[in-house]
Amino acid sequence: MIFDRNNNRDVAVLLGAGSMGTTILRRVCAGMTILFGDISEKRLDEVKKEYESYGYAVETQLVDAASRDSIEAFAQKAASLGSVKYYIHTAGASPNQAPPEKIIALDLVGSAYALDAFGKVMAAGGAGLLISSQTGYMFPPLSQEEEMQIMTTPPDKLAELPCLSNERITNSGTAYIVAKKANHLQVQYAATHEWGKRGARINTISPGIIITPLAYDEFSANGEGYQRMIDATPMRRVGSPDEIGAAGAFLLSDAASYITGTDLLVDGGTIAAMKNGQFQLGLSVLRKSLNILKQNRKLPIVGSFRS
């Protein structure tokens, strides 16, 4: 049976087929062709079967989200399917899933590759969304000069920056914070360059503690610390993928047509609690890294971490 006789469907793209991305996608993709990209063939088979059962036209492609060639091929696949209206990027690894160099390669450099590649194929009036994290707000990891370097350095050269070296990024926690701060900067740059020139918008969302399979990996590694964070959050609970879905759908929609190059913090007030002294991040490894960053940079850093 043919569920959709339309031949000129717009295209909605998701790279990283996790629960937050699929929840956002479900709210915006009616009547479109969906293109899923992921490094897991099993996961692609799962979402293809699921979304085809809902009546959607679905395409999939294996993608290494840390590889420029793989991401560029994915963008070209998207463009071949029709007018690319939405791009959602959720690919990444958490601190307890990968070493520092992998997090920098995937969460930071890979995101830059994707912004570049899809900035060349987005349709006028289209919109993109990169899922970042509240950790990008947790301490100022970069100087203004280093922020400008991250925004303006070509993706292939990013890993060569001194501020992203192994000497500066000594553990996965620090790598994750720096990568998520970099995501905000990369989107600001993309919004005013390639994406803006094409008449497309691009923003980030920074979720707090959202219940996903990735979150359970973090709970297993540092359950006590996460419990303290949940208890100190003004909302006094975790968030759900549906709440990220609602925020993401808004930023992609025409209701947000004057919003681009910005970040929406969806964290239940966790960062507000930290700034007001209601919660102190009890991760000694990050405190050590903060001191290393300060020594190497020889610049003042506001904030501290206490065990």
Whether 157 is catalytic is no
DSSP H or E segment with residue 34: strand 33-38
Residue 49 lies in a domain: yes
Residue 303 lies in a domain: no
Q: Distance between CA 190 and CA 181 in Å, rounded?
A: 15
Q: Say which CATH number the domain at 59 has.
A: 3.40.50.720
Phi, psi of 139 (to 5 degrees): -155, 155
Residue 171 lies in a domain: yes
pLDDT at 298: 41
pLDDT at 275: 87
Fill in the amino acid letter for 258: Y
Q: Please tell me which residue in 176, 189, 258, 298 is annotated as part of the active site.
A: 176
Residue 304 clears pLDDT 70, i.e. is over it: no
pLDDT at 171: 92
pLDDT at 282: 56
* Rounded average pLDDT over 230-240: 89
Q: Render pLDDT for 67-115 as a digit per residue (tens, 0 to 9).
A: 999 999 999 999 999 999 999 999 999 888 899 999 999 999 999 999 9
Strands (E), the chain: 11-15, 33-38, 57-62, 84-89, 122-131, 201-207, 263-266
Residue 201 lies in a domain: yes
Q: Distance between CA 70 and CA 161 in Å, rounded?
A: 23
Number of domains in the chain: 1
Residue 286 lies in a domain: no
Residue 297 lies in a domain: no
Sheet holding 201-207, edge to edge: 57-62, 33-38, 11-15, 84-89, 122-131, 201-207, 263-266
Which residue range(s) make up the domain with 121? Answer: 11-278
Whether 180 is catalytic is yes
Q: Render pLDDT for 139-149 as a digit per residue (tens, 0 to 9).
A: 777 899 999 99
pLDDT at 212: 74
Residue 307 lies in a domain: no
Q: Distance between CA 114 and CA 111 in Å, rounded?
A: 5
Q: 3-state DSSP call for residue 85?
A: strand
Q: Render pLDDT for 198-222 as a digit per residue (tens, 0 to 9).
A: 999 999 999 998 887 666 666 666 6
Residue 232 clears pLDDT 70, i.e. is over it: yes
Q: 3-state DSSP call for residue 36?
A: strand
Q: Distance between CA 37 and CA 18 in Å, rounded?
A: 10
Residue 250 lies in a domain: yes
Q: Please tell me which residue in 56, 180, 181, 189 is annotated as part of the active site.
A: 180
- Of 40-49, 137-146, 156-165, 266-275, least confident by mean pLDDT is 137-146
**0.75 exceeded by the pTM?**
yes
- Of 4-8, 54-58, 117-121, least confident by mean pLDDT is 4-8
Candidates 116, 165, 198, 171; CA nearest to 296 is 165
